[in-house]
Amino acid sequence: MKIIAELLLFVVVSFLLNSGNGIQAFSTHSINSRATAKQPYRTSYHFQPQENWMNDPNGPMYYKGVYHLFYQHNPEAATFGDRIVWGHSVSYDLINWIHLNNAIEPSGPYDINSCWSGSATIIPGKEEPMILYTGIDDKKHQVQNLAVPRNLSDTFLREWIKHSQNPVMTPPRGVEVDNFRDPSTAWQGKDGKWRVVVGAQNGDEGKAILYQSKDFVNWKVDPNPFYASQNTGVCECPDFFPVYINGSTDGVETSAQNPSVRHVLKISYLRKQHDYYFLGNYASDQGNFIPDVRFTGTSSDLRYDYGKFYASKSFFENAKNRRILWGWVNESDSTQDDIQKGWAGLQTIPRQVWLDKSGKRLVQWPLEEVEQLRGKHIRITRENLEHGSNLEVSGITASQADVEVLFELPELEKAEFLDPNGVDPQLLCSQEYAARSGTIGPFGLLALASKDLKEHTAVFFRIYRASNGYVCLMCSDQSRSSLRHDLDKTTYGSILDIDPNLKTISLRSLIDHSIVESFGDGGRVCITSRVYPSLAIDKDAHLYVFNYGSQSLVVSELNAWSMKQAEIGYEGNISYT
């Protein structure tokens, strides 16, 4: 009744989601049941449901001109629960979204206790989407189930039918019945058979189990693990896809296998709460994936994002020939705070992902569509930053902004020495905090800062000389992000090699009230943070560019934009024009 009463208080707003498609919907930003003053941490252009709990992104796909995002959702509370469903939203541009009814809910003995994560695959030729998802059955075992659309002519795919042969996969020998979940997007081998991997655990060993099928219904397990790691616990949310090796930013269709691609296996390690990825070689006729390096559990392991980012899912979009990645960003306040807010969990801005031209790591960058939200623009050029400089970026809405800055570096030979071997970047960032002066750095941005800088989130670089070249430490320091004490203020960081001839380095941050997504050196390193300022809220938030290193440097160019609100609302009065 509360929601109905609040709906009567607000007007229906309309928004145009795509050229040639006029859509009317109730705007979440009008419907949201709490005023901004009471909800300072609710985002304006990141995806989240109107209320309650959200975690893993599920089954993203592009179908007949419409983008689909499914997600793990507790419709009853702002905490994880015993009845998880698949929420469902659609979009024409990946930024403005229409919430639909839940797509998959517990109903049969194979999923009566929850519908957990999974993936979508579109069968070529037929253009028929298939969803594989994990059900928690009546014995509390984890099994894999199949669902298909009721009506393929409905581009919103509002209704899904569960297959009569569910479950289509059950825990095989050597896999714990309560740690067998999260089927990947399927790919087709040269023999025409479909393949998926499912995350699993046996004792301390994590596994990705390979299944094959001719018809997407009858699946046969491969006796050899597709991938295994010791002393890690369960492998969650596996994702497997090819990338071009020639430095192209184009995406590759998931089933592609040829000499021009390598493969990426992503594993979400529950014990670590991070998403790790491995580059390697794969041939479908040989069965398993051979990574270049094994998981070590150290900072040398590659991650999508070195901050808050988990249970990610990617998909290939053929319309624009790109691979798109989403990740879940959980809260850093308390469960009680979430209950009081009435919601928990965000999705990152969708990112395009490709292999760096070095062939050693992936690059991620916010989709170009987010730029449609850019409003008032501020540009700064050729600004010299002496030691101890703070330059305010004024004239924009600093609590809701997109900022890109390019720094010109001094001579790298002057950098301090650091042996990166065995160094924990996160620990180093907590020690070499933003206010502690070095030679080249720290320099970067102070986001969501109060006027007196008592509160700020520092995203910064520091350059070091190493025995075989130069390295850059990138940090996101939350230690001063809020005067509140009941928060997780973990500082995040990563180290990357840099070209000894490097003259500039870039930093981009997407700032949205309680989230800061940062992309260093063109997206070679990404760090996402959740922060909850008590002073730097809405119009009282400020943005600064700074240099606390002893060597001066130059802001070659800085561009910052106020960001408009994305239109994210419930389906209603839909009309096509």
Which residue pairs from 353-358 have beta carbons closer than 8 angstroms and sit at least 24 positions apart in sequence?
A: 353/243, 353/251, 353/314, 353/323, 353/324, 353/325, 354/243, 354/244, 354/248, 354/249, 354/250, 354/251, 354/323, 355/243, 355/244, 355/245, 355/247, 355/262, 355/264, 355/279, 356/247, 356/524, 357/246, 357/247
SS3 state of residue 29 = helix
- Measured between alpha carbons, how far is 200 from 449 in angstroms, rounded to an integer? 43
Whole-number Å distance between alpha carbons of 342 and 155: 31
Question: What residues contact 475, with CB distance under 8 A and at least 6 apart?
Answer: 425, 429, 432, 433, 434, 442, 458, 459, 460, 461, 462, 491, 492, 493, 527
Length of the chain counted residue by residue: 577
Residue 403: which of 212, 534, 545 has the closest Cα? 545
Return the amino acid letter for 242. P
56 is catalytic: yes
Catalytic residue chosen out of the listed positions 56, 111, 305, 338:
56
> Residues 154, 250, 186, CA angle at the centre, nearest 5°?
50
Task: Copy the structure tokens of residue 22.
Answer: 């006029």
DSSP 169: B
How far apart CA 40 and CA 194 sit, in angstroms, is 47
Distance of CA 544 to the CA centre of its chain: 26
Instruction: Please report, as a single letter, which amino acid is at residue 128.
Output: E
Annotated catalytic residues are: 56
